[in-house]
Amino acid sequence: MDMTIAPSRQPILPEMTDLLSSLDKDIVVVSGQELDKIVWQTNNLNAYYLGNNGNHANDKNNVELWKNPDLSKTHKNEIIRHINQIIDTLETKPNPDWNPIEDRGSQITFSPVGNTAPLEYKKVYDPDRKKREDFLLKFAFISEDLIVKIGGSTSLDYIHKDRHKGSNVQKLIDLKGWDKDECIYFGDGLYPGGNDEVVIGVIETVPVTDHLDTYEKLVKMFV
């Protein structure tokens, strides 16, 4: 969702809404955000919603399809220890009012600048992902059950290694009985370490740089 069909943490543009609504396709929005945030950002777009990297899913009628288990207390403690390692090295500590750590149940998302920081701060914080890549190089996250992926414009997403966007996209395809060869996934995080990378090999993928790039590619492919 963020940086794919909508600006980061911002509502979808009317032009994108009109385009997606005009396509004779089943639309699925897959995001690290919680379902209520997806509904708000997409302006109630007629779509399947896979929130928390797909760990909480609703159909087009807002009926719950599944909700995967939350992370255990042990897992959450493991994640917080890793986040604190990163925070200890920051010259400027995260503003607590901007929610640097969001516990979404089946996922914990950490943003050094703050998940709800003003957009002007988020745009300039880590546009090339180098800061977050450096964090993960300096502080390798070694876990038997968990993985961390770069997500959104400033975030790190911690999730269970068996419950990510790729596995949950596959789960929806199996549930609906869709043909994988007729499915296609657009994502801004299809690079190595990105939170869309796990979809590669599940269905066809199209890398995009932002929502404007997605719009252009959708028009070329389907209009």
CATH of the domain at 169: 3.40.50.1000
Domain hosting 41: range is 14-69+163-222
Assess whether 62 and 77 both reside in one domain: no
Domain membership of residue 6 (yes or no) is no
pLDDT tens across 89-116, in order? 999 999 999 999 999 999 999 999 999 9
Assess whether 88 and 116 both reside in one domain: yes
- Under the banding of pLDDT at 50, 70 and 90, the label for residue 182 is very high
pLDDT value of residue 8? 84
Q: Cα separation of 156 and 151, whole Å?
A: 6
Domain membership of residue 5 (yes or no) is no
Assess whether 60 and 167 both reside in one domain: yes
Assess whether 81 and 119 both reside in one domain: yes
- The mean per-residue pLDDT over the stretch 60-74 comes to 97
Assess whether 132 and 205 both reside in one domain: no
Assess whether 77 and 156 both reside in one domain: yes
Assess whether 38 and 115 both reside in one domain: no
pLDDT tens across 16-59, in order? 999 999 999 999 999 999 999 999 999 999 999 999 999 999 99
pLDDT value of residue 119? 87
pLDDT value of residue 9? 84
Domain membership of residue 28 (yes or no) is yes
Assess whether 87 and 136 both reside in one domain: yes
Domain membership of residue 2 (yes or no) is no
Domain membership of residue 189 (yes or no) is yes
Assess whether 173 and 127 both reside in one domain: no
Q: φ and ψ at 217, to 5 degrees? A: -70, -35
Q: Cα separation of 201 and 208, whole Å?
A: 17
Report the CATH number that the domain containing residue 93 is assigned in CATH: 3.30.1240.20
- The mean per-residue pLDDT over the stretch 177-194 comes to 96
Task: Look up tokens 């790039």; give the residue.
Answer: 213
Tell me the residue type at 10.
Q
Domain membership of residue 1 (yes or no) is no
Structural domain count of the chain: 2
Q: What pairing do the DSSP bridges indicate for beta strands 184-187 and 204-207?
A: parallel
- Detail the DSSP E strand segments found in 161-203: 184-187
Domain membership of residue 186 (yes or no) is yes
* 67: region left, alpha or beta (phi > 0 left; psi from -120 to 50 alpha): beta
Domain membership of residue 9 (yes or no) is no
Assess whether 85 and 154 both reside in one domain: yes
Domain end point (choices 138, 160, 182): 160
Assess whether 184 and 168 both reside in one domain: yes
Q: Cα separation of 162 and 56, whole Å?
A: 14
* 33: region left, alpha or beta (phi > 0 left; psi from -120 to 50 alpha): beta
Assess whether 107 and 130 both reside in one domain: yes
- Under the banding of pLDDT at 50, 70 and 90, the label for residue 154 is very high
